[in-house]
Amino acid sequence: MTKIIRIDPKRPDMNLIKECAEAINTGKTVVFPTETVYGLGSNALDAQAVKKIFEAKGRPTDNPLIVHIAYPVQVDELAKDISPKAKKLMDRFWPGPLTLLLWKKSAVPDVVTAGLPKVGIRMPSNPIAHALLKEADTPIAAPSANLSGKISPTHADDVIDDLYDRVDIIIDGGDSKEGIESTVIDMTAEVPLLLRPGTVTQEQIEKVIGPIQLHPSLFSVYYVDAPASPGMKYRHYSPRKELVLVSSKKLPLFLKQNSKKRIAVVTTVTDKKCHSALHVHLGKNKKVIAKKIFRTLRKLDKEDIDFIVVESIDEKDIGLGIMNRLKKGASRIVD
């Protein structure tokens, strides 16, 4: 049986946090909110507890997990040979939605990193996540709290849909503030390598440490060669219904041609009414799109429709991360 615990993110009740921390310290699984998406956590230093995460999600064991910490000093227990550039990024962006890949120390069980020599570490800013990490007094390994292959959850209801009865505790801590998963950057490379774009953008990172490289997969939807991050080879973020990504220019004609179909339409830039029974207008503010896109797709996926259309946006700044998730989930791109 999964216990659902409501915690107010503005004033986390310490008795409830203690109960969750105790669960972590006894090898149990706890879903907790972060500023990006909800995470499915267990004690990162307890290999048996980490295995439960893979089982609950149905996640392939060759896909490594991110380790979450309460304070930057904890990095030294987990990683070695940390470059000055990596330290600069921690100073500037932690706590926040940035994951750094660093050379792992032996304290990190192999199951966490899927046998890889690097570990992904991040310090979340969400007050519940922070309080839990502080109280448990151990790093927590946590992937997004969805069933493997499904869209990341940004609300406790979405977690319950996927993981009820598969985990020990689900903390309901309200909506995720950012809405897409953290930016992941490999800091062991000579020139730091961006593996997953997020709301901490390339431009923001380069202002702090100078030029970085973008992984080739970010330029092509169909890239499958030797993934640098095992997560790249799996189809992700897919709703069950077909997802079609359509440019603003092609949208009117596309909708006309498909007028006999039952379509849910998500618009961004296009402000006009669109003649679909199910139309969600997210607007063009990319922060808002990032925050709402996953929940919107999960909701529309439950409707009696043939497919979902999303109007694409430009790939500048946060747009790169948003389009990365949409392209991975799309079965068709009309550009």
Binding site for ligand TXA (CB under 6 A): 34, 36-37, 39, 63-66, 97, 99, 101, 113, 116, 118-120, 122, 142-144, 181-182, 184, 229-231
Q: Closest residue to Mg ion, Cβ-based?
A: 144
Return the structure tokens found at 103.
Answer: 């050379």
Phi and psi at 293, nearest 5°, equal -60, -45
Nearer residue to ligand TXA within complex by CB, 77 or 306: 77
Name the binder of 63 from Mg ion, ligand TXA, none, CB < 5-8 A by kind: ligand TXA
Q: Which does 141 bind (CB under 5 to 8 A by kind): Mg ion, ligand TXA, none?
A: none
For 313, residues 6+ apart whose C-beta sits below 8 A from its C-beta are 268, 269, 284, 286, 289, 319, 322, 323
144 binds Mg ion (CB under 5 A): yes
Residue closer to Mg ion by CB (options 144, 199) is 144
For residue 118, give the nearest of 40, 189, 198, 211 by alpha carbon: 189
Cα distance from N-terminal residue to C-terminal residue, the chain? 46
Instruction: Tell me how far, at minimum, the Cβ of 12 lies from Mg ion, in Å.
Output: 24
Contact flag: residue 267 with Mg ion (CB under 5 A): no
Tell me which residue of 71, 70, 100, 68 sits closest to 83, measured CA to CA.
100
229 is a site residue for Mg ion (CB under 5 A):
no
Give the chain's radius of gyration (CA, Å): 20
Which residue number, 40 or 264, has a Cβ lying nearer to Mg ion? 40
Q: CA 170, CA 2: separation in Å to the nearest integer?
A: 7
Q: Measure the CA–CA gap between 41 and 37, rounded to whole angstroms.
A: 12
Q: Applying CB under 5 A, which part among 2-10, 17-25, 68-76, 140-148 lies near Mg ion? A: 140-148
**12 or 231: CB nearest Mg ion:** 231
Task: Pick between residue 144 and residue 296 the one whose CB is nearest to ligand TXA.
Answer: 144
Instruction: Return phi, psi of residue 142, to 5°.
Output: -155, 120
Cβ closest to ligand TXA, residue 28 vs residue 122: 122
Closest distance to Mg ion from the beta carbon of 154 (Å): 12
The length of the chain in residues reads 335
Running DSSP on this structure, what letter comes out for residue 35?
Answer: S
CB of 107 vs ligand TXA, minimal distance in Å: 14
Q: Cβ 172 to Mg ion, closest distance in Å?
A: 20
In the bound state with Mg ion, the residue whose beta carbon lies nearer, of 145 and 266, is 145
Decide: helix, strand or coil at residue 106. Answer: coil
Q: Which does 268 bind (CB under 5 to 8 A by kind): Mg ion, ligand TXA, none?
A: none
Q: Which does residue 174 touch among ligand TXA, Mg ion, none (CB within 5 to 8 A, set by kind)?
A: none
Give the nearer residue to ligand TXA in terms of CB position, either 280 or 291. 291
**What φ, ψ does residue 218 adopt, rounded to 5°?**
-75, -10
The distance of closest approach from Cβ of residue 54 to Mg ion in the complex, given in angstroms and rounded to an integer, is 12
- Tell me which of ligand TXA, Mg ion, none is bound by residue 229, counting a contact when its beta carbon lies within the kind-specific cut-off of 5 to 8 angstroms: ligand TXA
CA 131/CA 135 separation, integer angstroms:
6
Taking each continuous run of H as one helix and of E as one strand, the counts in the chain are 11, 17
Tell me which of Mg ion, ligand TXA, none is bound by residue 142, counting a contact when its beta carbon lies within the kind-specific cut-off of 5 to 8 angstroms.
ligand TXA
**196: Cα within 13 Å, side-chain hemisphere:** 24
Q: With residue 39 as reference, give the H or E element that holds it.
A: strand 39-43
Contact of 198 with 181, CB cutoff 8 Å: yes
Contacts with Mg ion by CB under 5 A lie at 144
